[in-house]
Copies of this chain bind each other. A is one copy, B any other.
Amino acid sequence: MAKQPTNKVLLDIHRRMVRIRHFEEQAGKLMEDGKIPGALHLYVGQEAVASGVMVHLSDQDQITSTHRGHGHLIAKGGEFDRMFAELYGRATGYCKGKGGSMHICNMELGMLGANGIVGAGPPIAMGAAFANRYRKNKQVAVAFFGDGASNEGSFHEAANMAALYKLPAVFVCENNGYGEYTAQVNHQAVVDVADRAAGYGMPGVIVDGMDAIAVYEAAGDAIARARKGQGPTLLECKTYRFYDHVGVRGMGLTYRTDEEVQRWMKRDPIKLFEKHLADLKVLSKKQAEAVHAEVLADVKAGVAFAEQSPLPDVSTLLDDVYSVAS
């Protein structure tokens, strides 16, 4: 059964959430200012999911991410300087500027990449979980994917194989109610993606994705189960993205009502969690402010690093297509 998080863990989760929030807010600004090229899919609103799951994982455990991947990388330990550098397309970025937001990754941290292809993560995570089982190393692989992605055949095949081989995998569906501009009711006839678990022979669990503790506990159970060799779990986290599919508009969108947005924003996962931590006397308002201040300083430093970093040299274009080592 789910074990209570220690204070240390609570503070760890909180810091990860705050780091995601401020990184994303800044990234959004930078995109609006035309400093970050391409498309940005912000994770704001879903911080409790990445943080509540990732706090259970070591750098050796792997995750696969999505087009909305900054939050996953930050929660997995990604550094702001190299992340901003990647979004800027600089040579110092995690992908040397070749990947950008949609492919940002860190193999050392076991973050097997954001992905521009919806549904591409689950088969890759299933493969990483297979490697863990093969090596008997007790590592776990976690696939993050959205409600929209749950309609891709790739999810189906990965879930079936993970259950068949009893792999140490967890399938975390971040159900934010929309796939791009299409509401869930218009892309699937079920309300709970977790209902799909039974068809693969794995447990399906539903949790409030705005409640970091609830995510922490449910993820803890699923990950423990995976480590014990009992097979995968489908963990559905009901959450919401505060901003548009791409970019930073939150209100005034045609495909969702402002009332709906406001309703969810009242349950801002960071505010909820800080209130909870205050009630528990684990983190005072002042202490929380200090964390925000530290993180904001990190953000500032990260942006500065990125802006001072060189663009990739054109001579490097054809590097990294193939490995030349052997």
Q: Does chain B have a CB within 8 A of A196? A: yes
Q: A151-B160, A153-B152, A153-B157 are in contact. Are A189 and B195 (CB under 8 A)?
A: no
A178 to chain B, nearest CB (A): 15
A297 to chain B, nearest CB (A): 46
Q: Which of A42-50, A198-206, A212-220 contacts B (4 or more CB under 8 A)?
A: A198-206
Q: Which residues of B contact A197 (CB under 8 A)?
A: 199
Q: Does chain B have a CB within 8 A of A156? A: yes
A: number of interface residues (CB 8 Å): 25
Q: Does chain B have a CB within 8 A of A257? A: no
Q: Which residues of B contact A157 (CB under 8 A)?
A: 151-153, 156
Q: Does chain B have a CB within 8 A of A164? A: yes
Q: Does chain B have a CB within 8 A of A154? A: yes
Q: Which residues of B contact A195 (CB under 8 A)?
A: 198-199, 201
Q: Does chain B have a CB within 8 A of A163? A: yes
Q: Which of chain A's residues 137-190 have a Cβ closer than 8 Å to chain B?
A: 151-157, 160, 163-164, 166, 186-190
Q: Which residues of B contact A163 (CB under 8 A)?
A: 188-190
Q: Which residues of B contact A186 (CB under 8 A)?
A: 164
Q: Which of chain A's residues 196-242 have a Cβ closer than 8 Å to chain B?
A: 196-202, 231
Binding site for B on A (CB under 8 A): 151-157, 160, 163-164, 166, 186-190, 195-202, 231
